[in-house]
A and B are shown apart, each in its own frame.
Chain A
Amino acid sequence: MISRGLMVVLVVFLLVKGFGLVRDHGKFLIKVFDVGQGDAILIRTPQNQLVVIDGGPDYEVDRYMDKEFLLNGCKIDLIILTHPHQDHVKGLNRLLNRCSVDVIIFNPVEYESREYARWFENVEGIKVILAEAGDVVMVGRTRFVVVWPVEIGKDKDNINNSSVSVLLDYGDFEGLFLGDLEKEASVKIDLDLLAEYVDGRLEVYKVPHHGSKDSHNMNLISFLKPKMCIVSVGEDNKFKHPDEQALEDMENFGCKVRRTDREGTIEVLINRR
């Protein structure tokens, strides 16, 4: 049934797709996927390990992740769930349906939702690390340092403040990913812990909670002086994120603001060693 012509088309197509994969091979990339109002971030290490932080509000993350593989297989080295809100957990559940995952980091805070219940079903049989500030997880030569929460399973009154927050450290490159952490929690982050790993200015700051006013922490920004501030936010969202004043403050500190609602998926290529 499959004619020779179709076979040729499919083979050429696979070669073109394969070329794209070879092009990214060995590069250190951060991709903040455009998943609308939510977070889904992929980190590809120079040793080609894949780390996913949150999965967004639907299955779009899987469409992006599929581009990392030639065929329909999927292997992820580390998944970090910052907190159990749907716009962070749902896409991860989709990935867990079909991907082989080595390690999972999350904070098992008490929260009731169908997607969070599914999360617990999906992580069964996978190595889980319950996140606590000071934990260090190595993925190849890339270090992930947990900077929040200080206590496992706390902050159930405001789930945003239970967000697992990690500092990515690779050579002299550092990035900070805070989930939806609000200011009342982020002011409690141990700055000495951050200072231990951050060399000079922070390279990438994933702006917490889609750039909301409540998450804007000037102390942290003035301490880290980030070079690039990435806001993962949906176009014309009902929450009116991000906060204009917060963006202005970040720009005033010399941080280049990039937004997924304006640019789509944001890719950061890291050349440092």
Chain B
Amino acid sequence: MAIMFARLYVVCEGDVYTCGGAGEERTKSKISEIPFIGKFRNNMAQVSRKHLPSPHSELVLGMTVGIDKFYEVPIFKEMLRDTGTIHVVVVSGYNVTLVYTTIIKLLGTPYKSKNIILAVSGTLFFAVVSGFEPPVVRAWVMGSIIAVSKFYGRRINAMKVLLFTGLVLIVINPKYVYSLSFQLSFLATLSLIMFESNVSAKIKKVFKKDSLFAEDLSATLSAQTLIWPYLSYKFGTISLISPLVNALVLWTVPLATMMGAVFLALGSLSGVLGAVLGVFVYLPLDFFVLFVEFFSKFTKLMLNVQVSLTFLIIYYLFMFGIYVRGSKLE
């Protein structure tokens, strides 16, 4: 669940994949223009529109195959932004992990070279079909390194792998430095690596026993630790309600993503299967939609605060200091 938060906040004004600020360039890939992939994505869109209402249809397309049709539901898109849940509309590292673990589960064990090759190739295929966006590329490279290291029985340091992956991607495509989706995906993953275990321990003390809500809340708060000042610096807003809404609704996302993938695949083969599976996908999505609609009414909890660059740097240095101190104590 925690890795889901690596897909945080990659939507800016009018453009899901990147933000048009000074010095920033569009990073949206042209993968979807390849005829086979374009046809595949169109077919998925038709299946979801036939069996699901909007915005459920747009949600399932965004979550499973990275198709962004949220411009068709602009009011709902605004609600997602206000509640800090817009990150669910993009395919991210979370989806790569989901695809990888599903393939490995189907094959049996991650300790066979054939299985590793198939899983890494399968996730690469998924990354290409979903548009090969920066967060997906990051997750695929990072995930592949971790999978291969595990196979050879090496101990891996997630922080080092993340930094190495970031460096490799920037060397391959320097434009990634300006990609907001890449920046936020990197920051959210870093934040989780640095703070998730501590935040999770504190949350567990409060809630006494394990629960999905507590798990989601700790992941949200961990990811937000490095994300919120950057969003405030970039967009001048801080959503106070975002951690609560995320903790309440995010359990629906893996459910809808996995069922959505099956629904889209089988629904394109048979209308009857699409109709039946559509009901099951609809339920978690509808829960998500109604909660987002409800919490979007609390607009006063969206603060217009823009932190300065100096604040941002001092804050990051401070948080890094806390992390280093915590690591030494451990």
Contacts and interface: CB of A to CB of B under 8 A. Distances in A.
Q: Bound pair: A and B?
A: yes
B197 interface: no
Contacts of B75: 34-36, 60, 63
A249 interface: no
Given A6-B255, A10-B284, A72-B56, A58 B73 contact: yes
Interface string B229-260: 00000000000000000000001000100100
Nearest to B55: A63
B202 interface: no
Interface stretch (B27-35, B46-54, B90-98, B303-311): B46-54
Contacts of A66: 53-54, 56, 286
Contacts of A14: 283
Main SS at interface, chain B? helix
A59 B255 contact: no
A62 B54 contact: yes
Contacts of B72: 58-59, 94
A106 B75 CA distance: 27
B212 interface: yes
A117 B158 CA distance: 53
Given A13-B287, A98-B50, A6 B56 contact: no
A1 B280 CA distance: 13
B282 A71 contact: yes
B279 A72 contact: yes
B321 interface: no
A94 B251 contact: no
Interface string A1-28: 1100110011001100100000000000
A5 B213 CA distance: 11
Contacts of B50: 97-98
Contacts of B287: 9-10, 13
A94 B49 contact: yes
A62 B76 CA distance: 11
A58 B55 CA distance: 11
Contact of A98 (B51, B284, B290): B51
Contact of A72 (B53, B58, B251, B258): B53
A17 B54 contact: no
B55 A59 contact: yes
B49 A97 contact: yes
Contacts of B278: 72
A65 B73 contact: no
A66 B56 CA distance: 10
A63 B53 contact: yes
A94 B286 contact: no
B289 interface: yes
10 contacts: A1-B258, A2-B255, A35-B75, A36-B74, A65-B53, A66-B53, A72-B53, A72-B278, A72-B282, A94-B49
For the complex of A and B, 8 pairs with smallest distance between CB atoms: A59-B54, A62-B54, A66-B53, A72-B282, A59-B72, A97-B49, A62-B53, A58-B72
Interface of A: 1-2, 5-6, 9-10, 13-14, 17, 34-36, 58-60, 62-63, 65-66, 71-72, 74, 94, 97-98
Interface of B: 49-56, 58, 71-76, 212, 251, 255, 258, 278-279, 282-284, 286-287, 289-290
